[in-house]
Amino acid sequence: MTSFFRPKNLIFVSLLTSATTSFAAENEQALSYSKDIRPILSKNCFKCHGPDDAKDESGKSLRKAGFRLDIEDDQDWKEVVARIIATNADDIMPPPEANKTLKPAEIALLKRWINGGANYEKHWAFVSPQKSPVPTSSHPVDHLYGIPLAAKADPYTLIRRVHLDLIGLPPTVEAADAFAANPTSEAFEAIVDRLLKSPRYGERWARRWLDLARYADTNGYEKDRDRSIWPYRDYVIKSLNADKPFDQFTIEQLAGDMLPNATPEQIVATGFHRNTMLNEEGGIDPLEFRFHAMTDRVATTGTTWLGLTTGCAQCHTHKYDPITHHDYFGLMAYFDNTLEPDYHIPDPTLGERNQTNLAQAKKLLTELPNHWPAPGAQVVYKPQLIHSATAANSTLSFDKFVATPTGPIPDQDTYTVSIETKDHNFSALRLKTIAFNGKGPGRTAHGNYVLSEIEVTAAPLDNSSPPQKITLAKAAASIEQESFPAAHAIDGKLQTGWAIHDATKPPHQNQHVDIFFAQPINHPSGTRFTITLHQNHGSQHTIGTFQLLLGKTTPPKGDPSEHLQKSYQAWLASQKNNLTPWQTLAPDKACLLYTSPSPRDRG
């Protein structure tokens, strides 16, 4: 179905205008029943031959001869013409006692209309708009409003107009200058397409519909409290931006909650009829103001979707109104029978947030044993034979399990060491640095070093798959210098690092850092590990002699879950002094917390 909201031919017309304007070309030679004939009949004939079905005291219809001219029927038009041109007082219509006389011009119009077929027309509100051909000398918009073709606007005026028409905001200076530099029809079409896709488009054009829906953020009347009906406003804006067909837009607002498996959006759409004013003054009669709310809904429905007023039919069936008294209260009863509970809109992000929270809870539960590891659960390290070793800025020699850099001490260096093993199921790597020359394990004069970053890759010995970088989960060291913790060795940043200086401890000590893998490494054919030690701190803070050891986690002794529960309960006991006690009160005693000590003041 063609969208009601977003015209593609640049005929930007308000919703009301679109719904009530006929596009039929007016033929200068043809007569219109509604425009030319009905006024004559209404003034001169309808009193006796019109819609009034009133009766006299005896019950006899006041309509003369049962003959009607207000509707298309089997009228004897030959007789009608004979009567209106008659000269005999007993035959002429209108009769002399009516004190009404048809003028010659009116008689001529009636005769022309009858000779042309006496074509009646429906009430304009019930006639579907028809699009007429646009003359080549006119623009569609100019033709619609019946004005001459306007002069071509300059580029700056044109881009400003289209921005204000479509989104209600002026163009940016850059956009205006760009169009002025290239004011082609293709460039203009691209601008229109961009504006139609803008969220501001719906905001601009929703204002018209929200006026029809009498949208407001407060209740009106004396209290005029806030109301939370903004989701309906957003529904209208989204519908316009989504180019929603008008029939769907209508159904959702009139009966969205009655659709099968109605969505939250369709239920929110029925907020159209929740925009009535609400009187919360203390002395009102609620039923009286519910009645006023219902009449408001009937009137709004008639104005918005039928294009006509319903106020006359509220009191009686009006002979010139297509809505009867019975129809009015039938529609009002339909609205009055509706239930109107508050609707709590489900949070669209609730499901996603729930899944995120569940994943976080699962992660925390998985990590819980790390806070209270079971007794006997430990990592056992074993030195590994070095297969190869190189350095970026020095010479790195090795002898079985030990690697040692030699030559001039560089400011920075990078060591790359390869080890091979046919063993399996490794969970950690230990870098052990060995003190030498009566100082620490570093090559500086004071024996310190900074390990900027450690990287580990693993590959099967049979080369059945390429090397994979190992995710490093945690780092723990025998010693940590202030501002240089072990965690900095695996944070992915070469500007940070782990260092070992501690003024309170002897410098001539071996030190180590343990790097724990996120997942155990287990290749059936064995594994080739490549370890890269980045040392970017400068000032010769590089590592001297070192070893690499691979670690395996031994199984815990006893039931780990039982140990976990005991450890958790012990932790709770240790935190007892930090807890805030809460006392549950019975309802009849709770009020005592808020009463005065004086019995006279107690409620």
- Identify whether residues 99 and 187 lie together within a single domain: no
Does residue 498 contact residue 480 with C-beta atoms inside 8 Å? yes
The pLDDT score that the predictor gives to residue 376 is: 64
Answer whether residue 528 is part of any domain: yes
- Identify whether residues 394 and 543 lie together within a single domain: yes
> How far are the Cα atoms of 29, 39, 86, 243 from residue 106, in angstroms, in the given order?
16, 10, 14, 48
Q: Is the peptide bond before 441 cis (omega within 30 degrees of 0)?
A: no
Q: Is the pLDDT of residue 4 over 60?
A: no
| Chain segment 155-208, per-residue pLDDT in tens | 999 999 999 999 999 999 999 999 999 999 999 999 999 999 999 999 999 999
d(Cα 300, Cα 296) in Å, to the nearest integer? 6
- Model confidence at 375, pLDDT cuts 50, 70, 90, reads low
Q: What is the mean pLDDT of residues 294-312?
A: 90
| Chain segment 48-101, per-residue pLDDT in tens | 888 877 777 787 777 888 888 888 887 888 889 999 999 898 899 999 998 999
- Identify whether residues 80 and 165 lie together within a single domain: no
Domain boundary among 553, 571, 596: 553
Q: Report the mean per-residue pLDDT for the chain.
A: 86
The pLDDT score that the predictor gives to residue 398 is: 94
The pLDDT score that the predictor gives to residue 16 is: 31
| Chain segment 260-285, per-residue pLDDT in tens | 999 999 999 999 998 999 888 888 89
Q: Which of 55, 51, 46, 60 is nearest to 98 (CA)?
A: 46
The pLDDT score that the predictor gives to residue 596 is: 46
- Identify whether residues 37 and 176 lie together within a single domain: no
- Identify whether residues 49 and 93 lie together within a single domain: yes
Task: Count CB-CB contacts under 10 A for residue 428.
Answer: 23
Answer whether residue 270 is part of any domain: no
- Identify whether residues 189 and 98 lie together within a single domain: no
DSSP letter at 302 equals I
The pLDDT score that the predictor gives to residue 130 is: 79
- Model confidence at 377, pLDDT cuts 50, 70, 90, reads low
Answer whether residue 539 is part of any domain: yes
The structural domain count of the chain equals 3
- Identify whether residues 158 and 41 lie together within a single domain: no
- Identify whether residues 65 and 180 lie together within a single domain: no
Tokens 């070309």 map to which residue? 25
Structural domain of 527: 379-553
The pLDDT score that the predictor gives to residue 599 is: 44
Q: Is the pLDDT of residue 553 over 90?
A: no
Answer whether residue 570 is part of any domain: no
Answer whether residue 143 is part of any domain: no
Calculate what percentage of the chain has a pLDDT beyond 90: 55
- Identify whether residues 185 and 88 lie together within a single domain: no
Domain boundary among 509, 532, 553: 553
Answer whether residue 53 is part of any domain: yes
d(Cα 299, Cα 276) in Å, to the nearest integer? 11
Q: Is the peptide bond before 94 cis (omega within 30 degrees of 0)?
A: yes
| Token code pair at residue 268 | 């929110």
- Identify whether residues 442 and 545 lie together within a single domain: yes
Answer whether residue 564 is part of any domain: no
Q: Reduced to 3 DSSP states, what percent helix, strand and coil does the chain have, rounded to the nearest 5? A: 40, 15, 45
- Identify whether residues 384 and 494 lie together within a single domain: yes
Listed ranges 10-14, 140-144, 231-235, 285-289; the one with the highest mean pLDDT: 231-235
- Identify whether residues 396 and 473 lie together within a single domain: yes
Q: What is the CATH number of the domain that holds 539?
A: 2.60.120
Domain boundary among 163, 197, 231: 197
Answer whether residue 530 is part of any domain: yes
Q: What is the mean pLDDT of residues 317-334?
A: 85
